Amino acid sequence: MATLTIHGLDKATIQKLRELAAEHGHSPEEEARDILVRVVHQAMQKGLGTLITQEFKSIGGAELELPTRSERGRSE
């Protein structure tokens, strides 16, 4: 398992991390690890539309003309 050191956290953040850890029965290190894992996995769960939007955002986006919808091909 890798080691990560985070420098420069303010005292209020460290105190809040300690409080959250105590509420969950964890050490501050375990609480930080759980938070990081949860946030990284949420970021990885982005939908296709979000990923496409982010990709095109870097080049200024894209304007597409959408075709009109028709009832053709629909079964009732």
Give the per-residue pLDDT at 73: 62
Task: Tell me, yes or no, whether 20 lies in a domain.
Answer: yes
Task: Tell me, yes or no, whether 3 lies in a domain.
Answer: no
Give the per-residue pLDDT at 29: 94
Task: Tell me, yes or no, whether 76 lies in a domain.
Answer: no
Task: Tell me, yes or no, whether 31 lies in a domain.
Answer: yes
What's the structural domain count of the chain?
1
- Dist. CA 3–CA 18, nearest whole Å: 19
Give the per-residue pLDDT at 44: 75
The answer to whether 53 and 59 have CB atoms below 8 angstroms apart is: no
Task: Tell me, yes or no, whether 69 lies in a domain.
Answer: no
Q: How far apart are the first and last CA of the chain?
A: 56
Task: Tell me, yes or no, whether 63 lies in a domain.
Answer: no
pLDDT category of residue 31 using cuts at 50, 70 and 90: very high
pLDDT category of residue 18 using cuts at 50, 70 and 90: very high
- Dist. CA 61–CA 38, nearest whole Å: 30
Q: Which domain holds residue 34?
A: 14-57
